[in-house]
Structure 1
Amino acid sequence: MTHTRTVELDGHIIDSGSMQQAMGIVMDLGGDFDIEKFDVGRQKEDTSYCRMTVSADDEDGLQEILHELHQIGANLTDPVDAHVEPSPADQVVPVGFYSTTNHPTDVRYDGEWIPVEDIEMDCAIIVEETEDGARAYTKVLNSVEEGDLVVTDEAGIRVKPPERPRDSSGPFGFMQGGVSSERPSESLIGEVADALRETKKEGGNVLVVAGPALIHSGGGDALARLIREGYIDMISAGNGFATHDIERGLYGTSLGMDMETMEHPRKGHKHHIYTISEVIRAGGIEEAVDEGLIKEGIMYECVKNDVSYVLAGSIRDDGPLPDTITDAIEAQNAIREQAHQADMVLMLSTLLHSVAVGNCLPSTAKTVCVDINPATVTQLLDRGSSQAIGMVTDIGTFVPTLAEKVLDETDE
């Protein structure tokens, strides 16, 4: 017995490759498809529409195909209300719960489509009835409470992956995805600068995810300048990043190396732990700035310009600084709050932190990942942050060039 369902795709489905991808999914999983309707957009601004019947030999095979199609935005033509089940206990979700993508998502409830708030990947969807009607929002599994109405399977779910522009026009036209080590860095950095200015012009929020290599490579002054001039709204980093930034201001070294001479002064290897000790003695980074201990650098500019920062701890941290969040769940929640506010994200030379923040971002956030190691960028993309573009280049060159193009060209 053949089992069939009908799905539809709408948008720039030819340019984005989703039409071809949908056909490939069906064939790879042993199913068949029949195109019932296919309207092709003939102008650049026109969208296309496809309705296809998908079939498989058994119900389980069909559901597997529909699941994969659903991830790329192919939705059922005959939607029903989403299935919801109460959570049986805290941090326990019903079997077969719907696990979110990072794409904009709607849930059908009581015959109405409801947008899911704070969308991010690998979460449960909770439906809550309020005096103003039903609302839907995401929860990570450790936040689910007994009695929460959790959406199960994929019925009544509509996913809308963001589409790539058909050409390079517009402030984010350069964001065609993928990893680039061959495109001219100078011109691409200029396009990132244009996107950064446009984001701020439109009132958006810019989040920087940074690793210690930014300090070691000499890019700290340029990032501090961008913060001072109002182009950065949030910083997400680790204990090491803040420590070496402050160490540079106190001792002129980063990880014990003199930033001017590139030599290792006597006792330089102890400078980072001396730095942590002095900040602990002051009571924290803000207190150290207020008393004049910290007089320059990225963390100094964050304090002086009310730029929020989250320092997430790890098992390898020295100290750590008083501001470092050592509870992993608490750090996740703080990062998640930043990610949900971000309209553009610059990920600068930090693999694990970039992937962690990427997991919390909706696919609508413009994301640029820069690292000398191409594995950082490819791992971010493979993990699901498909909206990101990657640049394989030296972070010590990228950040100063970006600051120059953003600030110096703005002054002209």
Structure 2
Amino acid sequence: MIVDPYVALLGGLGLLVLLVAWVPLVTRELPLSLPLVCIALGAVVFALPEGGSALHPADWLTPTERMTELVVLIALTGCGLRIDERPGVRRWSSTWWLLSVTMPLCIAAGYGVGTLLLGLPPATAMLLGAVLAPTDPVLAADVQVGPPRSGPGGDVRFALTSEAGLNDGLAFPFTWLAIGLALNGSTGGPWTWDWLLVDVVWQLAAGAGIGYGVGRLLGWLVFGRDDRVVLSATRDGFVAVGVTFISYAAAELAHGYGFIAVFAAAVVLRRAERTHEGDYVVHLHHFIEQIERLLMMVLLVLFGGSLVGGLLDALTWPGAVGALLMVFLVRPLTGLLALLPTRQHRREAAVTAFFGIRGVGSFYYLAFAAGHAAFPELKAVWSVVGFTVLVSVVVHGIASTPVMRWLDRTLYQPETERRQAVRQTE
């Protein structure tokens, strides 16, 4: 029987939508995660003779870049909306230390893996370090804080949520550095000053400043005083999508980093909701979370297909060792080092350092860079990144539920009970 491809596509999408709702219920008590199920599903489907041809993302750079960019943008809005903690130097100290210490050290380690283990040229090695450094906001949902007004959820969840919200944007300057090396061949020359002043200083400042300004403006439009005209009166969840796209477009038009602007706008919008009665921000978060899960599932099914379609063909033993070092050694050690000056308990610091999840953002930066410059031996980088993401999804996906429950049981719940007992005696 011949099946119309359009009908098959609709049926497949319908099945995916149902799985988005059903799989988390099934895996709630199991050492599994929705991303792991999606990847396995994609691998099985594309391995079948009737499953169609699996696609290597390097052969479809523009679709890969746009699809991964979209899901990261949606995830960043979700991260910003769910953070209850007011931004500040002391309140966000764990975040600042992770961004200023762990991320640069991970980039340096990735560069070392590329040059020493894989023998990559400097530009390609720098790109490998840049794409493997950020903690992914898409695949880290199981170790992040809950919906708005659900409480902080502990320092681990807060640190991982805020870190994921910011370091995807902070990987951009180093991606541009890799592009500059590929185009110019050395670190000398006027282009390095352009990189420092434009790609580092201006684009970071423009992204943060425009995100803050857009967040304040949209906060007034959404949570204004006159309930007859404010957007919160509509109860429409897709307002969150508008916030995402407007903040991103405004930053990009000003040549700033849109990822940072989106997260900043969502955090500021969350703060504006503090003066508004009702639960509209919770409604916004639920809507954006559902979109994120659906987009993530589609993307990870395609990733699973790429695994059986040649993504790992260029993986060598040194590349596999390098990926394992990044996941199991570099991130945990640099994370622990960064958290030494903070007030995190040693168990919290260990868990925070371990869950440096790599994912969708790495593929975005890789596709973005490949579209702007020619990098030697890039096939090897695609394979190393694909293997790193696969290892991260499997290991962190299996470990997230039991580890976070252990942390809640041994640290957070006793502390909560102690505080309640103190209040009762006062």
- TM-score in same-fold range (> 0.5): no
Between Structure 1 and Structure 2, which shows a larger proportion of helix residues?
Answer: 2
Larger Rg: 1
Between Structure 1 and Structure 2, which shows a larger proportion of strand residues?
Answer: 1
- TM-score, scaled to structure 1: 0.24
- TM-score, scaled to structure 2: 0.23
